[in-house]
Amino acid sequence: MHKTIDLLKSKDELRIIDTPLDIALEIPHLAYAEVKKENGGKALLFTHPVDKATGKKFDIPVVMNLFGSFRRTELLFGREVEGVAAEIEKLLHMKPPQGLKEKVGMLGDLFAMKDIFPKKLKKRGSCQEVVKQGDEVNLYDLPILTTWEEDGGPFITMGQVYTQSLDGAVVNLGMYRLQVYDKNHLGMHWQIHKDSSHFFDQYQRAGKKMPVSIGIGGDPLYTWCATAPLPYGVNELLLYGLIKKESPKLVESITTPLYIPEDVDFVIEGWVDPEKFVLEGPFGDHTGYYTLAEHYPVMEVSAITSRKNPYYLATVVGKPPLEDKYMGWATERVFLPLLKTNAADLIDYHMPENGVFHNLILAKMKPLYKGHAKQFMHIFWGSGQMSFVKHALFFGEDAPKLTNYEALITYALNRFIPKCLFISEGITDALDHSSPESLVGGKLGIDFTASHSPIAPESIDSSALTEHFQNLIPEVTALTQYMRHTANPITVVSIRKTRSLKECFSALERLASFVRIVIFVDEEKNDIHNPYMLLWRVTNNMDAARDVYRSESIVAIDGTTKTVVDSFEREWPGDVECTPSVVERLKSLSLWDLDPKLEKKYQL
């Protein structure tokens, strides 16, 4: 991390904040604003974190927004991200050599592979220069942040969680949020689908405590590797070796049998009792909503070790765009070749940041036969973490670039008919709040690979259309129309909902001359003229099996908050929002310098 800080300074990619700021809300709020600047702002180094609640001053600097731009992400990789993908693709398609020249070339490739594998050192690492055990263990000695006003407490947000199977044969590196309960207990928010949760099941059946070691800091690439969606049983640190061309050097933890990189800044070691569960959360998460409190396993900390002059690495999550945009971009590029192993005719894919990854994916493919796109939908929904994706849109090879949104949506709307929709059901992310039941919900696929010739509706002024809507649905307060130059304009309607919108959908048929795609959102907290945040809101709030209406000519989507009028029985979470008094204090210190237009656009 010291080398990283020096690198960022030399590239003018670091903003140093010497003003003492509170670990509760102030530091994370400023980081939240920084990453929303054009091109992601700069990495932040807070040199004087304080805990105003206790009066404690920390001599441990806090580092944030490390990956918060495309440029910084590649700086931290030490190479072009696309080059990593090309290398993986080459490995996946390696064939037996046919002649002496090819054999010699392959020997070079295989020799380079030797540096992929982690090396276990027999000595202690620099992460163990300071060792605290027993009564000396105190999580409150670390500047662990409380990000949002309604959070259940302070959370570690950039922890590298090292675990292993009961027999020790399989190891895993993951990233899970970790709530601080007291000086020596942490909540383990590993969702039921995660590898560490699978390991936990093994220990639970055996009635044994599970060892866990958590790394913080060190080479930033360790942290990115912790987010990598590798198949079960594959050590994520292999990616580190592949990217850096050097073996990650590991040392054994002091009080657990787990190995961790020798140069991380902190290691928090401990044991998880399989019989003990504690209420974890709420937490303002990357969906932009609070995830509700639930019971999760708890870890009793047995040791905290560190470097002599450590940094504390953290991130902030909430409404997009955030640091995970850039980390996700690297994941998207690096894992394209692996996704192609199950879908050979896949050309490219992209996860828009305001779809918060599991809510929306765009894919381009080479369709070879009828139903090929639907086959791809099933492949995606059955592939590892891709199975959590709620909405998948598939385009043919002649479609515009997936990141050219204006051209892409024009292409899509000029060939869309309601028959293109495919609605299924499957597994959902534990953070998804919109489905009628936890972990299972509707899936929406749209096939744009076939060319249709939809008939455009009659053009009508928005004010006149509003009047038509209000005559049929009195709860409508306003509307606007997007993409009116296409065969399928999108009408966004704000509403003060007093009943289920299912009761309103059939009335839309009387407007078939004027509308094709209709999206309903709540009047409260939505700006119908802000498409960036509308996409975020609607993909979060809809469950395709419940909230999509279609006829021969019209598709309608209910993107509103679900309540008792919808027979929705789960608790609906609130938005993640900045605390106004904290923002005003940061502005008074001349630290908050985000353009007010961006504050409004991203609905801070």
Q: Which domains are assigned to the chain? A: 2-78+117-313 (2.30.110.10), 323-448 (3.40.1670.10), 462-566 (3.40.1670.10)
Res 109: pLDDT: 56
Name the residue with tokens 């091109």: 39
Q: Please report, for the chain, how many H helices and E strands are present, in that order.
A: 18, 31
Residue whose tokens read 């909430």: 318
Q: How far apart are the first and last CA of the chain?
A: 30
Mean pLDDT, 10 residues at a time, the chain of 604 residues: 96 98 98 96 98 97 97 94 83 61 55 77 96 97 98 97 95 95 96 82 95 98 92 87 92 98 98 95 96 94 98 97 95 90 92 94 95 93 89 97 97 96 93 94 96 94 96 97 97 96 92 97 97 98 96 95 95 96 98 96 96
Distance from C-alpha of 391 to C-alpha of 444, rounded to nearest angstrom = 5
Q: What is the pLDDT of residue 482?
A: 97
Residues in the chain: 604
Contact 197, 246 (CB under 8 A): no
> Would you give the distance in Å from CA 555 to the centre of its chain?
29
* Residues 260, 161 contacting (CB under 8 angstroms): no
Q: What is the pLDDT of residue 88?
A: 79
Structure tokens at 333: 């590029």
What Rg do the C-alpha atoms of the chain give, in angstroms? 25
The answer to whether 161 touches 195, Cβ cutoff 8 Å, is no
Q: Give the span between the Cα atoms of 421 and 444, in whole angstroms.
A: 7
**CA 476 to CA 478: how far, in whole Å?**
6
Reading across the β-sheet that carries 490-495, which strands appear in turn?
476-482, 490-495, 517-522, 555-558, 548-550
Q: Which two tokens stand for residue 589?
A: 């210190």
Question: Is the peptide bond prior to 143 cis by the omega test (within 30 degrees of 0)?
Answer: no
**What CA–CA distance (Å, rounded) separates 305 from 59?**
16
CB 300 within 8 A of CB 270: yes
| pTM for this entry | 0.93
Contact 43, 8 (CB under 8 A): yes
Alpha-carbon distance of 445 to 548, in angstroms, equals: 12
Decide: 203 and 191 in contact? Cβ < 8 Å.
no
DSSP string, 179-242: EEEETTEEE----TTSHHHHHHHHHHHHT--EEEEEEESSSHHHHHHHT--PPTT--THHHHHH
